[in-house]
């Protein structure tokens, strides 16, 4: 079955067909590093990390570029009211962003493109648009004339009439039509600026992305991702800029948008007092639990973030981790010979592999894919009761690790396996077994009780004693 991807532009699921064989060029709007990374960012970047991981799993060579908007209105506003240099703000918040992404196992980005590294390319694009009569300069500012582009509104389904600003927004009188947007902004006092044919100034937000992607990918590429909130006007403006400039349509083959992150049924907003910064959430929950929480819904669905929802996600994910730990111990130390439940487990693993890929091929349905893992986990637990050999456990673990790599889950429990804790616990279990054989119950009970104190419980099983981390 081919991979199907929901394309916002056509409003339907389409077969995924790349432009250049196994190569996939993918761009996702990055952050403006002026404030803390929030929960909406975390959801977006976990989503597209998963998308890139699954495409790679299917054998595509994904080149994933994310931009860093290191010059933009909000950053400059923060600079002016904090009195801090904009570069300091960028350094602080990009460092925080990278740390947060690491905690969420977000690792798929190949290249971060910084907007200020593309000023010459941005200026070239604006010059091109002015030359074609699509953009116009007024006292050091340059605007895009949306009436000159007949595809305006095709992504978001909006029309120019609807785009008239409300009464609360004052229209810049110098614009030819109210929806026109800035490509270049003249320097105001205290603002960072670069030289340009229109005088000193800085780029508008939308042109940064097309300058980056046209430079790196050329006039057309496979996937553009981002949050739904960016669809209008930001992504609409990107299409207008690139298609008017290069004449190549469509600029992007698949536009992918993640559903909104809600808090208590409302949009997250500083003004509503329901703003969640990711570093605060990571004090309460492990990054992998947060990742599980996001992936346990379809990426296009809105998600309602709540502490209760996170507690529930934590419990569910722990159930999978418990099974993972049992399985990895059996894969190391289970019995050699064939065991009663081997065949049943092998069949369950093969079926899970097929169902997992079917779910992921259906527009990256991670909710369904996780349900497949839960069903397999139940089968693993049942099989252990009947008895499973070491090799059957190894085959099953190999498959679960593939699922984990695609979803970016089970990464920490795997890494823990590499540190000696694992081996030390095994040694203690062995010593306790020796003590029990000698009927030295004082020693065996002491080991059991001391382990319990540090959160390790021992369980008797067919294959011997197993330990479990709480």
For Zn ion, the binding residues in 263-292 under the rule CB under 5 A are: none
d(C-alpha 104, C-alpha 94), whole Å? 15
The residue written with tokens 């054989």 in the block is 437
3-state secondary structure of 257: strand
**What minimum distance in Å lies between the beta carbon of 329 and Zn ion?**
46
Q: In the complex with Zn ion, which residue's Cβ is closer, 210 or 329?
A: 210
**What minimum distance in Å lies between the beta carbon of 213 and Zn ion?**
9
The kind and range of the H/E element at 67 are strand 61-68
Q: In the complex with Zn ion, which residue's Cβ is closer, 29 or 409?
A: 29
Question: Does 70 participate in binding Zn ion (rule CB under 5 A)?
Answer: no
Nearest-Å Rg of the Cα atoms of the chain is 27
d(C-alpha 43, C-alpha 262), whole Å? 11
| Cis omega (within 30 of 0) for bond into 233 | yes
**What minimum distance in Å lies between the beta carbon of 30 and Zn ion?**
7
Q: In the complex with Zn ion, which residue's Cβ is closer, 29 or 129?
A: 29
**What minimum distance in Å lies between the beta carbon of 313 and Zn ion?**
29
d(C-alpha 441, C-alpha 432), whole Å? 9
Which two three-digit tokens encode residue 455?
């959160």
Question: In degrees, to the nearest 5, what angle opens at C-alpha 40 toward C-alphas 47 and 3?
Answer: 20
Check: CB of residue 83 under 8 Å from CB of residue 24.
Answer: no
**What minimum distance in Å lies between the beta carbon of 238 and Zn ion?**
7
For Zn ion, the binding residues in 131-150 under the rule CB under 5 A are: none
DSSP assignment letter at 410 = S
The kind and range of the H/E element at 78 are helix 73-82
d(C-alpha 416, C-alpha 426), whole Å? 14
Q: In the complex with Zn ion, which residue's Cβ is closer, 213 or 379?
A: 213
Closest residue to Zn ion, judged by C-beta, is 29
Query: CA dihedral defined by 437, 443, 448, 452, rounded to 10 degrees?
Result: -170
Task: Give the count of alpha carbons within 13 A of 98, CB side only.
Answer: 8
d(C-alpha 100, C-alpha 285), whole Å? 12
Per CB under 5 A, which region of 147-155, 209-217, 292-300, 340-348 contacts Zn ion?
209-217
**What minimum distance in Å lies between the beta carbon of 451 and Zn ion?**
51
**What minimum distance in Å lies between the beta carbon of 31 and Zn ion?**
10
**What minimum distance in Å lies between the beta carbon of 90 and Zn ion?**
16
- Tell me the DSSP string of 427-458: HHHHHHHHHHHTT-HHHHHHHHHHHHHTTEEE
For Zn ion, the binding residues in 325-344 under the rule CB under 5 A are: none
Q: In the complex with Zn ion, which residue's Cβ is closer, 29 or 429?
A: 29
Check: CB of residue 142 under 8 Å from CB of residue 189.
Answer: no
**What minimum distance in Å lies between the beta carbon of 284 and Zn ion?**
30
**What minimum distance in Å lies between the beta carbon of 29 and Zn ion?**
3
User: Out of 209, 288, 357, 463, which residue is the one contacting Zn ion (CB under 5 A)?
Assistant: 209
Q: Mask 150-189, x = binds Zn ion (CB under 5 A)?
A: ----------------------------------------
For Zn ion, the binding residues in 294-323 under the rule CB under 5 A are: none
3-state secondary structure of 262: strand
Per CB under 5 A, which region of 94-102, 206-214, 306-314, 393-401 contacts Zn ion?
206-214
For Zn ion, the binding residues in 11-50 under the rule CB under 5 A are: 29
Per CB under 5 A, which region of 208-216, 268-276, 280-288, 380-388 contacts Zn ion?
208-216
Q: In the complex with Zn ion, which residue's Cβ is closer, 69 or 296?
A: 69
Per CB under 5 A, which region of 87-95, 202-210, 313-321, 434-442 contacts Zn ion?
202-210
Q: In the complex with Zn ion, which residue's Cβ is closer, 236 or 463?
A: 236
Check: CB of residue 331 under 8 Å from CB of residue 397.
Answer: yes
Residue 319, strand partner residues: none
Interface contacts to Zn ion, rule CB under 5 A: 29, 209
């Amino acid at each position: 079955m081919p991979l199907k991807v929901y394309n916002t532009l056509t409003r339907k699921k389409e077969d995924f067909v790349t432009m250049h064989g196994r190569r996939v060029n993918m761009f996702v709007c990055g952050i403006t590093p002026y404030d803390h990374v929030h929960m909406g960012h975390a959801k977006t970047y976990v989503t597209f990390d998963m998308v890139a991981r699954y495409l790679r799993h299917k054998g595509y060579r994904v080149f994933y570029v994310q931009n860093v908007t290191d010059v933009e209105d909000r950053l400059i506003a923060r600079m002016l009211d904090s009195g801090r240099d904009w570069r300091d703000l960028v350094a602080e918040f990009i460092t925080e962003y990278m740390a947060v992404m690491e905690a969420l196992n977000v690792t798929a980005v190949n290249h971060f493109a910084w907007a200020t590294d593309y000023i010459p390319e941005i200026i070239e694009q604006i010059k091109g648009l002015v030359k074609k009569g699509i953009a116009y300069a007024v006292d050091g500012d340059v605007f895009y004339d949306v009436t000159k582009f007949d595809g305006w509104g095709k992504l978001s389904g909006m029309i120019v009439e609807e785009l008239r600003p409300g009464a609360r927004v004052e229209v810049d009188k110098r614009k030819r039509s109210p929806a026109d947007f800035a490509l270049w902004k003249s320097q105001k006092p205290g603002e960072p600026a670069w030289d340009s044919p229109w005088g000193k100034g800085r780029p508008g937000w939308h042109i940064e992305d097309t300058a980056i992607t046209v430079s790196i990918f050329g006039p057309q590429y496979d996937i553009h991702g981002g949050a739904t909130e960016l669809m209008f006007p930001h992504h609409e403006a990107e299409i207008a800029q690139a298609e008017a400039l290069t004449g190549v349509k469509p600029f992007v083959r698949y536009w992918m948008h993640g559903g909104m992150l809600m808090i208590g049924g409302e949009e997250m907003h500083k003004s509503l007092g329901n703003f969640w910064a990711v570093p605060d959430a990571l004090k309460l929950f492990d990054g992998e639990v947060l990742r599980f929480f996001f992936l346990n819904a379809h990426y296009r669905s809105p998600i309602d973030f709540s502490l209760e929802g996170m507690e529930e996600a934590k419990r569910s994910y722990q159930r999978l981790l418990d099974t993972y730990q049992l399985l990895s111990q059996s894969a190391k130390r289970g019995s050699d010979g064939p065991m009663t439940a081997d065949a049943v487990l092998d069949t369950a693993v093969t079926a899970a592999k097929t169902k997992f890929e079917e779910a992921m091929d259906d527009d990256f349905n991670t909710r369904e894919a996780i349900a497949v893992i839960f069903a397999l986990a139940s089968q693993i637990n049942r099989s252990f009761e009947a008895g499973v050999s070491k090799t059957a456990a190894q085959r099953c673990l190999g498959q679960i690790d593939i699922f984990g790599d695609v979803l970016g889950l089970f990464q920490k429990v795997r890494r823990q396996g590499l540190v000696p804790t694992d081996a030390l616990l095994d040694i203690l279990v062995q010593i306790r077994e020796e003590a029990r054989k000698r009927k030295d119950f004082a020693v065996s009970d002491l080991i059991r009780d001391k382990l319990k104190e540090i959160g390790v419980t021992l369980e008797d099983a067919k294959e011997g004693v197993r330990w479990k981390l709480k």
